[in-house]
Structure 1
């Protein structure tokens, strides 16, 4: 059984970490361009505020959620237009994001057990929705941190993103117009040192008992991906190019996956080019 309360606490902690980065910024810093083309720091926060809003609609008013999708003037610009629509002066935007994420947490906690929520693609359980929000918040916070020249501490919350990255293997291939592979892939990731102490003494998954290594997939899979958990999370959120990461792929399927991995819904992202 997934502990939704614990997941929501992790989402709150992830949001608070980004909040602490942006709250003290000057208006000039809010206007700084980030690695996402055309997006400033304000766009990054506005995107999270918008997605929190539509996620709350999915949980409380599915008809309004579907209307927001079908009524989009340009579906190809849905994400960009959503962020633009939530832009505001920094203080107002920050308040809007804080209020919206609190409202979303309340809405998700109230979803009846077993109910699935509409989303862009497959329907999602509340737990899957929270996991996706953790992934999105972490990824966009990474853009903000890169812009500010800040290195954030890696936490045990990365395990949610790593697990989601593993589960969306097929989606990455499909989004890029490739056949979804049938061969299983084993993923073995070295947990960040700071995360190991957080996980000590509590269950962290069906396969990794001590938290030092996060393991997904069957033990007898011929295809494998190994490396640091942080690098895997950066890859599946398309925040770094595989050439800049210490991930090792064994087998054709695993190797191709590192080119198309995508933990987020929607069309294929442009990704980031290699730094060298």
Structure 2
């Protein structure tokens, strides 16, 4: 079983990096972000809310069935409704809840039994997978916050977790679009921030994706237009995947066309 330690460390560092930005007194939490109707307060509220849901899954997995029923009843508006409620909280309270919640979740995941799997809105996840998913979402929402503030954070090696998750969720992306996943694996070769090549899949695969690791992560988190990304797809299936890639659970995302990275 994969050790959650590396992902948890990088999740901590990614969260702290975002925390340092939003905790600045001059940061306007009412600033609009690229997500329609979402301010910075909505972004932080969503992260705090999702961490709380993940903590339920890890600590009391049997109780998560009730959460899944609420999500089903809430439909497509479920996440947005929760974000609106969270964003109404005083800034100091919301920031404290996000900090306390992510710390509690990290502790719970670090102490999880080897081989344990936890229910989620998509397939059940191991502790390492849950940590990686939280890292992916924290990074993705941080992109929205930074864009709202006119900032461009430097990419780091933490992207490797997100890139790997993006590759592993290929079949999920096809499935949520009611499309049959390709039978054969793809080869994905990505240029890391330091110039290293991160490779996934068989070297002799016919369908391939190559290019920037940063752009790939932006695409699979639906923060960037795949047609504008520094990515090359070889094969019709690989090209189709980039148009629908989705590393997060839930219904198909709308994606962003013409968005800045």
TM bucket by the smaller chain? over 0.9
Q: Is the 8 A contact 2:187 2:200 kept in 1?
A: yes
Aligned to 1:99: 100
User: 2:49 maps to what in 1?
Assistant: 50
| CA distance 1:60–1:230, change in 2 (3 Å) | same
C-alpha distance in structure 1 between counterparts of 2:65 and 2:128, whole Å: 21
The alignment's C-alpha RMSD in Å is: 1.5
Deviating more after overlay: 213-222 vs 168-177: 168-177
Partners of 1:25 and 1:40 lie apart in 2 by 16
State the number of aligned residues.
258
Deviation at 1:182, TM superposition (A): 0.8
Give the secondary-structure state (helix, strand or coil) at the position aligned to 1:74: helix
Match in the other structure for 1:5: 5
Displacement of 1:275: 4.8
CA–CA separation in structure 1 for the residues paired with 2:217 and 2:7: 18
* 1:258 to 2:242 alignment: yes
Q: Determine the structure 1 residue equivalent to 2:15.
A: 15
Is the contact made by 2:223 and 2:259 (CA closer than 8 Å) also made in structure 1? no
- Answering whether residue 228 of structure 2 is matched by residue 229 of structure 1, we say no
For normalisation by structure 2, the TM-score amounts to: 0.95
C-alpha separation in 2, matches of 1:74 and 1:258 = 29
Structure 2 unaligned residues grouped into runs of 5+: none
Q: Is the 8 A contact 1:187 1:217 kept in 2?
A: yes
Gaps of 5+ in 1: 197-211
* 1:32 shift after superposition: 1.0
TM-score by structure 1 length? Answer: 0.90
User: Residue 187 of structure 1 aligns to a residue in which SS?
Assistant: strand
Task: Indicate if the aligned counterparts of 1:59 and 1:108 stay in contact, CA closer than 8 A.
Answer: yes
Contact 1:183 1:253 in 2 (8 A): no
Instruction: Quote the Cα distance in structure 1 between the aligned partners of 2:63 and 2:36.
Output: 30
Tell me by how many angstroms 1:256 deviates: 0.6
CA drift of 1:68 comes to 2.1
Distance 1:275 1:100 in 2: 31
The alpha-carbon deviation at position 75 of structure 1 amounts to: 2.5
Matched, 1:273 2:234: no
Structure 1 residues 115 and 93, CA, compared in 2 at 3 Å: closer, same or farther? same
> Does the Cα contact within 8 Å between 1:234 and 1:240 map onto a contact in 2?
yes
